[in-house]
């Protein structure tokens, strides 16, 4: 005769079972950890790359827009038709606008990381019509009080026959805006007042700018694109490592570039430049998103190149 003997419930785990369970758990955790690290690295790389590409597009767009409109002087056409009433700048300072220097200029390989600089000059906007003009004491009445002109702004007024460049000393508003031009005040200030009368309502007034783009070191020790506007220097985009510029010179007067050369090339006539080839090199701000590069860091770099036509010269 046999008797049924119920199985006794398990009271615990053996040491071997515990070790096997720990080993399996460690393998699984290692895989999960590897997936997490890989995904995290992929996310950081994609985020840094997206920011890099956005910065590149914005930098190229910003400079392109202003190169395209360089050397615009209203219906005055050329700087040779403009009478400059500004004083020479004080020693150690820069003239905010100097039309006789030309609408476009640059330097080659003298910036940070052997980058170039480019300087653009010209009038901006569509202009504001001059209603009346009292030659003495040099007060211009404009057609709109919303002119966005301030004391110290350099402006150009032209009626397509005459053109004068001067600095505003008093931008008051009323039914119509009154712009006063006085001598001896401001930097650089006016050496004299415009002598031409613009009283027949055909003249237009434009705000004039001088802009220089250069690569410099930012406050966070990163290379960055800087924009100097009428003497005020502002950091625009961080991570711009280099800027190279070639100037397209029209040597046969057919409004098309025959060669692209650096600014210091022998024989280059800047007044014959009709287009600009811009190359920007940007890098990620983060130094942990790639393998070790030839530069000795772990940054991603991208280069953007575009060719811009100077509209006012073609």
pLDDT digits (tens, 9 = 90+) for 55-89: 999 999 999 999 999 999 988 888 888 898 888 77
* pLDDT: which is higher, 94 or 275: 275
How many whole angstroms separate alpha carbon 243 and alpha carbon 227?
13
| Structure confidence at residue 3 (pLDDT) | 57
List the one residue out of 299, 236, 297 whose CA is nearest residue 55. 236
pLDDT-based confidence at residue 309 (cuts at 50, 70, 90):
very high
Q: In the chain, where are the structural domains located?
A: 52-313
pTM of the entire predicted model: 0.81
Dump pLDDT digits (tens) for 165-200: 988 888 875 545 677 776 666 678 888 888 888 878
List the one residue out of 252, 245, 269, 261 whose CA is nearest residue 67. 245
What CA–CA distances, in Å, run from 245 to 65, 79, 149, 269?
A: 15, 23, 32, 15
Residue 281 φ then ψ, to 5°: -115, 120
* pLDDT: which is higher, 275 or 22: 275
Residues 6+ apart with CB under 8 A from 79: 71, 73, 99, 100, 102, 103
């Amino acid at each position: 005769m046999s008797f049924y003997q119920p199985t006794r419930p398990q009271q615990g785990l053996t040491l071997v079972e515990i070790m096997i369970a720990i080993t399996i758990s460690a393998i699984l955790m290692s895989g999960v950890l590897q997936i997490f690290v890989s995904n995290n690295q992929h996310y950081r790389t994609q985020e840094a790359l997206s920011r890099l590409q956005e910065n590149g597009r914005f930098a190229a767009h910003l400079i392109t827009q202003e190169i395209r409109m360089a050397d615009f002087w209203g219906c005055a056409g050329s700087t040779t038709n403009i009478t400059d009433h500004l004083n020479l700048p004080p020693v150690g300072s820069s003239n905010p606008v100097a039309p006789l220097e030309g609408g476009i200029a640059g330097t080659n390989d003298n910036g940070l990381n052997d980058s170039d600089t480019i300087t653009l000059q010209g009038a901006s906007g569509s202009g504001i019509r001059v209603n009346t003009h009292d030659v003495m004491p040099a007060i211009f009445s404009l057609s709109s009080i919303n002119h966005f002109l301030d004391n110290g702004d350099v402006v150009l007024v032209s009626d397509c026959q005459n053109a004068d460049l001067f600095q505003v000393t008093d931008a008051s508003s009323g039914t119509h805006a009154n712009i006063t031009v006085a001598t001896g005040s401001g930097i650089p200030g006016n050496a004299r007042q415009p002598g031409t009368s613009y009283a027949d309502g055909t003249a237009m007034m434009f705000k004039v700018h001088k802009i220089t783009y250069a690569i410099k070191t930012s406050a966070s020790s990163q290379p960055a694109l800087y924009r100097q506007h009428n003497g005020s220097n502002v950091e625009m985009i961080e991570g711009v490592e280099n800027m190279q510029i070639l100037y397209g010179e029209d040597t046969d007067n057919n409004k098309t570039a025959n060669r692209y050369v650096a600014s210091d090339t022998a024989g280059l006539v800047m007044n014959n430049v009709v287009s600009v080839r811009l190359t920007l090199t940007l890098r990620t701000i983060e130094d942990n998103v790639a393998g070790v590069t030839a530069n000795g860091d772990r940054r991603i770099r991208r280069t953007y190149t575009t060719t811009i036509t100077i509209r006012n010269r073609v």
